[in-house]
Each structure stands twice: as structure tokens, then as C-alpha cells.
Amino acid sequence: MELIDLSLIWAVIIGFAIIMYVLMDGFDLGVGILFPFAPDEQSRDIMMNSVAPVWDGNETWLVLGGAGLLGAFPLVYSTFLPALYIGVFLMLAGLIFRGVAFEFRFKANRKRPWNWAFAGGSTVAAFAQGAVGGAYVQGFNTVDKVYVGGAFDWLTPFTVMTGLGLLAGYALLGTTWLIMKSEGHTQDWAYRITPRLLFAVLIVFGLISVWTPLVDDFVRERWFGNLGIIWVLPALALLSTYILWRAVRKRQEGMPFVATMAMFIFTYLGLLVSKWPYMVPPNYTIWDAASAPGSQLFLLIGMLFIIPIVLAYTAWTYWVFRGKVRADAGYH
Amino acid sequence: MELDPLLLSRIQFAFVVSFHAIFPVFSIGLASYIALLEGLFYKTGNPLWSRLSHFWIKIFAVVFGMGVVSGIVMSFQFGTNWSNFSYATANFIGPLLSYEVITAFFLEAAFLGVLLFGRNKVPPGTHLFAAGMVALGTFISSFWILATNSWMHTPAGVELQDGIFQITSWTEAIFNPSFPYRFMHMGLASFLTGGFVVAGVSAWYLLRGRDVEANRKALSMCLWLLLIIAPAQAVIGDYHGLNTLEHQPTKVAAMEGNWETQNGVPLLLFAIPSKETQSNSFEIGIPKLASFILTHDMNGEVPGLKEVPVAEQPPVALVFWSFRLMVGIGVLMILFAFAGAWLRWRGQLYDHRFFLRGMSWMIGAPFVAVIAGWFVTETGRAPWLVQGMMSHSEGLTPSLTGAMALFTLIGYITVYAVVFTAGIYYITRIVKAGMEHDESGDTDEVERPSRPMSAAHIPFDKPATPPTSG
């Protein structure tokens, strides 16, 4: 029966969906976070137009990952959501508000209320996602596969830190995206604030990297138990930040975004390495969290069908809307 | 005061799912109507069909978008408030709900864009094909959802091992005993909803003398449809009721307000059922009719609520009255469909202002009936979450406190109030702008199938008097 490890395949799929979501919704959430600080309304139009064709497709990965979790790793679904009850609500409310604000801002003549809904929703959603990530590192208070902790266990100084970290990280993805997609004074503004955001991200990520091994024995053992190949990941993440910094100084247009994405990917892999194979830390691994093999297989067929389609469709969308964005220009 | 997380979670779920149900039930019916209009246009080349289709596609785009947004919240409700249920049933509901998501994404990626934006960009046949696939896709989506829901009423193909539902047969679980009835009942409900909304909006236009030719056509075809499906729904509903009688007799007892198992049970038109006294007050009924409807025998035996302990009885008054509301609206729908046929025969269909006004008032009726019907079937299952196998309290999230549940309940009500007021307001704007609205591409919007609402270009508000943007 166990010729192939379905749980492992599913862990890869879910892990892939999460990083796709973080990178792609990350930059459009980042654009929302930066919205109030934009130099003028014209820049806001450019910012919004730059993510308009893709933002909803980006959120596809959140839904795909969430649905996949219920089907393949129900334990994650049934412990994370109760444990992060308030945080999940805030994230959903934020995502809904910004989505609707997005649609109606285009149709509205009075844009101000929609601006605030867009910015507020993006900021709340980003912070909540960062805190959720922090709560995963922190682990969950479970007994017999049931979450038994309180409503605010997830809200600790550590998760506030990870929330702010992701907020800054998404904003960085947002500015580097804008460097690539805009020109003129909007691009100048993006170039100006990128180094500051990079500085903030480095400080917060640095604090988290020092903090985690101090409070978590498992993570400390993983990283300092044997000085192995895994240290390549933080090294590559640091190299990416250097490339990003240099690219901004040279006013390159595409490289800052690529470097920021690389920084995210290596940090994310570092996080996975820290916790592997625990899916509901500190007690349950991916195999403990799995659903019945028959259910995993049944759903896998559908996923293997839909993921290439979503990928192709996504790639096509980005290709169609490549190039610089202007405030007034329609795309069609 | 002690806040009960169980009660609050049930209210929250009822609120979220009722709000959500409004949108898909309409979009399923509307998608088929649009496919029909596209088919007629393809066959006859009459631009009138394409104009009607064009208009309803805009409404469809907004309704579809709202349905997706409210559906996302649904997919998290299971985990946040019903984590024990999610964990225990995940082997079954996990893949099924995921397949619904997969269906929706596939539909969106492949066909929705062509339907919404492709009219002048693809050959007419391709556009028609896309319209058909979107309509089919909405049915496939509802297939997965209703299979999941029906299984909770009539679980099959599973066995409980250490508190986890393990699948013994996928076919038995998916095509469980109540599934075919519920699927047909919901399918017809979607058509009734689409039919009454289109007919009502057309009547509203006719009352104002707008776009008379197209709206006459639309009203006429909807009334033909309603003439067939409004009575058909009564028949299907009856079969659904008989299926429920077989598998969930207590629910039927609550629907009938019948406490004792007895013969020759009257059909109650009015009563105030009380679980405390285990009886009804102020009963007004038609003798023996409930027995006749349920058993097709005047003296047939109808099970009573007292067959089960009080703790296993559903909230009787809620089930009893929701059922009467649903059936009452159903009867009203049949009357309207017949009145339409009679007026048509008399040649007064398009000029009878009283009837037209009545039709435009009926726009809200199918939505109320659908929600009332879901209240009957869902609260009628109480205290069970999975009939006979898992109760509401067993399925609840153990760590959930009353305060948490209350916080998110208020939160969702606030979010929905803002978001859906905006959405429904916008739909009325599109209707008021009407089919005459010129769409000569005066928009800076990015049109994308993943943003279905970008298919509608009606301004959200009137131009601001002092310009706010530079």
C-alpha cells in the first residue's frame, strides 16, 4: 500500500501553495499597506492599476492551500483555526474589506473611503498572517490532537514581532514591485523608501532569528546541533538582501523585486527547516496530521489537475499585463 | 450572563450561510438563463437576445463575485467554530469541499473570462460554449456542496473508528439517500429564483415603459418556465419530504407540529408549538391531510416528536414556522405562475399593471423561501450535526468560549452589513441604469475573469460635487 508517501507529497503541495501565496498576495498586500503614504492620488491610481489584473488570482493560493489542508491534513485545520480564532477572523475581515474596496474604488467617484478600506484591510490582513506564522513557530497547546489553549495564546511579544516583520516584508515586496511597474515620481518615491523598509525588515528578521533558537530548544538543536548544509539558507537570504540593496542603488528596475522574492524564499525555507517534520508543533508531525490515504489520494488527483491550470493561467495573466503601468491608461 | 458558545456558533453559522446562500442560489439559475439567451441569439441572430444577455451578465458578474467572497468565510467556519466536526469528518468533507473549490477555479480560469469579456473577441459559437460551461460549472459546484450537506442528513458509506469517520464506499457516501432529492429541490429552487428575479425586473421595466420589446420577451419566457417549474417544485418537495420521513422522522414531526405518533393527523395551518408543554396551542388544521400527504392514506400513521427524548427534539416552533413560510411562498409562486398564464390567454399580460407590480414585488420571495427551507432542514436535524452519529455539542470547537464566538458574530455581521449593502446597492444601480446604458468603453478598468465585478461599468455613486482627486 505505502509505495508512495502521500503525506510527503501533500506537504510539498501545501508548502508550495503557501510560498506562492506569500510572494504573490504579499506584493499586492504591500501595495495596500503603502497606500496611505503614496505621494498623491495619481500615484495611488498607478499602484492600484499595477495589481488590479492579478490580486484576486493571487488569493487563489490561499483558498487552494486552505482547502487542501482540510482534505490532506485535517489536524492542522482543526487546531490552527481554533487556536488562531481571533487572528483568522481579522485576516478574513481585512481581506474582504480590501477586496471589495478594490472593486468599488474603480467604480466610485468619491475614492477616499475606499482608499482607507483598502489600506486598512491590507494592513490588518498582513499583520494577522505574520502573527499566524509566528504562532506556528511558537507551537500550540494540544492534548489528544485537540487545541486546549486560550483565545489569545497566539498573541505574544514574539508573534507581534513576526506580525510587524511580515508587515514590513510585504511593504518591501510592494515597493520593489512598484519600482518594476511604475515610472516617474511614483518610481522615485518607491526607490526612496525601499532602503528604509529593507532596514526595518533586516532588524525584525534579525531579532526573530536570534529570538527563536533562544526560546525553542528544538530549533536551537536543529541549527546549532551540527553546523551543516542548512546554513546555506540564511547565507543566501543575506546575499539576496545585499543584491537588493545594490540593485536599488544602481536604480535597476527588475532586480530589486527578484531579490526580495529570493530573500522571502530562503527565509521561508529556513523556517521550514527549523520545524521539519512538525506540522502542529510541538507534538504532531506531517504524518500525525494526515487524513486517510484514500482521501489524500482522491483529492490529489484533482489537485494535480488544477495546479498546472492555475499556474498556466497565472503566468498568462502576468504576461498579458507585463510592462509599465500608467494612471489613466486602460489595458485593453 | 453566561454566553453559550454552542448557541452563538449556531447563530453565527446560520447567519453566514444564509447570507452566502442568497448569491449562489441566484447565480446558478441566472447562469442557465444566460446560456439560454446566448443559445437563442446564436440560433436566430436577433440582437434583442444578445442585449438581454449582455445586461444579465453584468448582474451575474456582481452576484458571482459576492458569492465567492462570502464563500471564503464559509470555508473557514468549519475549522474555527466546529473543529471537532471538521477533524472527525475530514476524510469525507475535506476532499468534497476541495473539489468544489477546484471546480470553481477551473470554471473561472477557463470560461468565465470568455463569457464576461469575450463577446467581441471570440467566435459566437465559442461564446455560447463558454456560457454553457459556466452554467454547467455552477451545477457541478452545487453538486459537491449538496453531496456534503446531504451526507450530514443521511450519512452513508462511512464507519466511525476511534471517533473518526472512515470511508467504506465513496459512491455510497457521495450519492447518499437524501442527495438526489436535495439536489433536485435546490436545482429547481435556483431556477425559480432566477425566473422570479428576471421576470420581476422585466415587469419593473415594463411598468416604466423602458425597453419594452426586450422586457416583454424576458417576462414571457420566464412565465412559461415558472408555469412548469413552480408546480414541479411542489411535487419534488413532496418526494423530498417522503425521503425525510423515512430517514429523519423527527424532523418531519417538527415540520407538522405532531407530538404523538398517531393516525389521521391533521395538516396544521396555524399552531404555537411548545417544547415545554410538549403540545401545541391555538391549533387550526385540516383533518387528516398531513397523513394523506405523507403516507398517501387518510388514516396513515405519522411519527410524533415524543418518539425521541426532549433533548433530541429540534427547536420545534422554528422548524414548524420556517416550513410554513417556505410552503406559503411556494403556493404564492404557483398562483403567480397561473395568473400569468391566465393573463396571457386573455391577452393582458403586458398591460396588467397590478400583476406587473406584483411580479416586481415577488423578486425577494424566492430568497426568503430558500432561506426558510434551509432553516427547516438544518434546524430540523438538531441536535445532530451528522444525523444519529455526531451532535452539535460534540462537533463544537472545545477551546471556543462564548466571548470569542460573540466577538466574531458581531464582527461578521458588521463586515457583511458594509460589504453586502454596498453590493446590493450596486446591483440596484445596474438595474436602474438599465439595458439602454451605453457601454462605449469609457472606463479605465482592468477587466479580468478573476475580478468578475469588472464586467460591470456602472458608477457606484453620483459624481462628487467637489472633485476629490487631482
Domain ranges of chain A: 7-319
Other CB atoms within a 10 A radius of the CB of residue A2 amount to 7
Mean pLDDT of chain A: 89
User: What is the spatial distance between Cα A97 and Cα A87, in angstroms, rounded to a whole number?
Assistant: 15
- The residue range of the domain holding B70 is 14-176+411-463
* Cβ atoms of residues B194 and B370 within 8 Å: no
Alpha helices in chain A (DSSP H): 6-34, 41-51, 55-72, 74-83, 85-107, 112-138, 157-181, 184-215, 217-224, 232-249, 255-275, 293-320
B204-230 in b/e form (b: 16+ CB < 10 A) is bbbeeeebeebbbbbbbbbbebbbebb
Cell matching residue B123: 467566435
Nearest CA in chain B to A77: B79
User: What is the spatial distance between Cα B76 and Cα B386, in angstroms, rounded to a whole number?
Assistant: 19
* H/E element, B249: helix B249-256
How many angstroms separate the most distant Cα atoms in chain B?
78
User: What is the spatial distance between Cα A138 and Cα A149, in angstroms, rounded to a whole number?
Assistant: 13
Instruction: Tell me the residues of chain B between 293 and 312 that have a Cβ less than 8 Å away from chain A.
Output: none
Rounded to whole angstroms, what are the CA distances from B21 to B15, B189, B233, B375?
Answer: 10, 11, 18, 12
Rounded mean pLDDT, A145-172: 93
Shortest distance, CA A84 to any CA of chain B (angstroms): 8
User: What is the spatial distance between Cα B378 and Cα B382, in angstroms, rounded to a whole number?
Assistant: 7
Output DSSP code: residue B448. B
User: What is the spatial distance between Cα B5 and Cα B11, in angstroms, rounded to a whole number?
Assistant: 10
Hey, which residues does A280 pair with through a beta bridge? A284
Pairing verdict, β B267-274 and B384-386: unpaired
Instruction: Tell me the residues of chain B between 398 and 457 that have a Cβ less than 8 Å away from chain A.
Output: 398-401, 403-404, 407-408, 411-412, 415, 418-419, 422-423, 426, 441, 443-448, 450-451, 453-454, 456-457
Q: Which of B98, B167, B459 sits opposite A302 (nearest CB)?
A: B98
Cell matching residue B302: 405519522
User: Which residues have CB under 8 Å from B258's CB, separation 6+?
Assistant: B265, B290, B302, B303, B304, B305
Which residue from B328, B30, B81 is spatially nearest to B192, judged by alpha carbons? B30
Q: Which of A63, A108, A295 sits opposite B91 (nearest CB)?
A: A295
| Cell 491590507 found at | A122
Pairing verdict, β B301-302 and B279-286: unpaired
* Cβ atoms of residues A176 and A313 within 8 Å: no
Predicted local distance difference test score (pLDDT) of residue B438: 52
* Cβ atoms of residues B388 and B308 within 8 Å: no
B76 contacts on A by Cβ (under 8 Å): 66, 81, 88, 92
Predicted local distance difference test score (pLDDT) of residue B446: 59
User: What is the spatial distance between Cα B107 and Cα B135, in angstroms, rounded to a whole number?
Assistant: 10
* Cβ atoms of residues A133 and A91 within 8 Å: no
Question: pLDDT tens track of chain B, all 470 residues?
Answer: 578 999 999 999 999 888 888 899 999 999 999 999 999 999 999 999 999 999 999 999 888 888 877 877 888 889 999 999 999 999 999 999 999 988 887 787 778 888 888 788 788 899 999 999 999 989 999 999 999 999 999 999 999 999 999 999 999 999 999 999 999 999 999 999 999 999 999 999 999 999 999 999 999 999 999 999 999 999 999 999 999 999 999 999 999 999 999 998 999 999 999 988 999 989 899 999 999 989 888 899 999 999 999 999 999 999 999 999 999 999 999 999 999 999 999 999 999 999 999 999 999 999 999 999 999 999 999 899 999 999 999 999 999 999 999 999 999 999 888 888 888 888 999 998 888 765 544 444 556 666 777 777 777 776 544 444 43
- Asked, for residue B245, whether it belongs to a domain, the answer is no
State the pTM of this model.
Answer: 0.89
Which residue from A330, A289, A324 is spatially nearest to A77, judged by alpha carbons? A289
* Cβ atoms of residues B153 and B387 within 8 Å: yes
Shortest distance, CA B370 to any CA of chain A (angstroms): 25
The residue of A78, A154, A280, A311 whose CB has the most chain B CBs within 10 angstroms, and thus the best one to mutate to test that interface, is A78
Q: Taking CB atoms and an 8 Å limit, are B460 and A108 in contact across chains?
A: yes
- Asked, for residue B262, whether it belongs to a domain, the answer is no
- Asked, for residue B297, whether it belongs to a domain, the answer is no
* Cβ atoms of residues B456 and B110 within 8 Å: no
Residue A168 has pLDDT above 60, yes or no: yes
Task: Report chain B's terminal Cα–Cα distance, integer Å.
Answer: 53
Nearest CA in chain B to A152: B404
Predicted local distance difference test score (pLDDT) of residue B113: 80
Q: Give the tens place of pLDDT for each residue, A79-122.
A: 999 999 999 999 999 988 888 888 788 778 788 888 898 999 99
Q: Taking CB atoms and an 8 Å limit, are B426 and A309 in contact across chains?
A: no
Q: Tell me the residue type at A104.
A: F
- Asked, for residue B199, whether it belongs to a domain, the answer is no
The residue of A28, A60, A89, A97 whose CB has the most chain B CBs within 10 angstroms, and thus the best one to mutate to test that interface, is A89
How many angstroms separate the most distant Cα atoms in chain A?
62
* Cβ atoms of residues B63 and B28 within 8 Å: no
Q: Tell me the residue type at A135.
A: A
Pairing verdict, β B279-286 and B267-274: antiparallel
Residue A226 has pLDDT above 90, yes or no: no
Q: Report the CATH number of the A7-319 domain.
A: 1.20.1630.10
User: What is the spatial distance between Cα B57 and Cα B26, in angstroms, rounded to a whole number?
Assistant: 12
Q: Taking CB atoms and an 8 Å limit, are A305 and B423 in contact across chains?
A: no
User: What is the spatial distance between Cα B187 and Cα B442, in angstroms, rounded to a whole number?
Assistant: 38
Q: Taking CB atoms and an 8 Å limit, are B87 and A100 in contact across chains?
A: no
Is the CB of residue B140 less than 8 Å away from at least one CB of chain A? no
Output DSSP code: residue B451. B
* H/E element, B116: helix B113-117
Is the CB of residue B102 less than 8 Å away from at least one CB of chain A? yes
* Cβ atoms of residues A82 and B83 within 8 Å: yes
Which residue from B319, B289, B295 is spatially nearest to B383, judged by alpha carbons? B319
Rounded to whole angstroms, what are the CA distances from B335 to B227, B231, B295, B341, B410?
Answer: 9, 9, 26, 10, 39
Predicted local distance difference test score (pLDDT) of residue B231: 97
| Cell 397590478 found at | B354
Instruction: Quote the Cα angle for A198-A203-A204, to 5°.
Output: 100
User: Which residues have CB under 8 Å from B152's CB, separation 6+?
Assistant: B381, B385, B386, B387
Is the CB of residue B468 less than 8 Å away from at least one CB of chain A? yes
Q: Taking CB atoms and an 8 Å limit, are B445 and A298 in contact across chains?
A: no
Instruction: Quote the Cα angle for A218-A221-A223, to 5°.
Output: 110
The residue of A109, A153, A301, A328 whose CB has the most chain B CBs within 10 angstroms, and thus the best one to mutate to test that interface, is A109
- Asked, for residue B403, whether it belongs to a domain, the answer is no
Rounded to whole angstroms, what are the CA distances from B67 to B61, B62, B99, B267?
Answer: 10, 9, 17, 37
* Cβ atoms of residues B458 and B426 within 8 Å: yes
* Cβ atoms of residues A115 and A35 within 8 Å: yes
Q: How many domains would you assign to chain B?
A: 1
* Cβ atoms of residues A64 and A305 within 8 Å: no
E-only strand ranges, B194-320: 262-263, 267-274, 279-286, 301-302
User: Which residues have CB under 8 Å from B224's CB, separation 6+?
Assistant: none
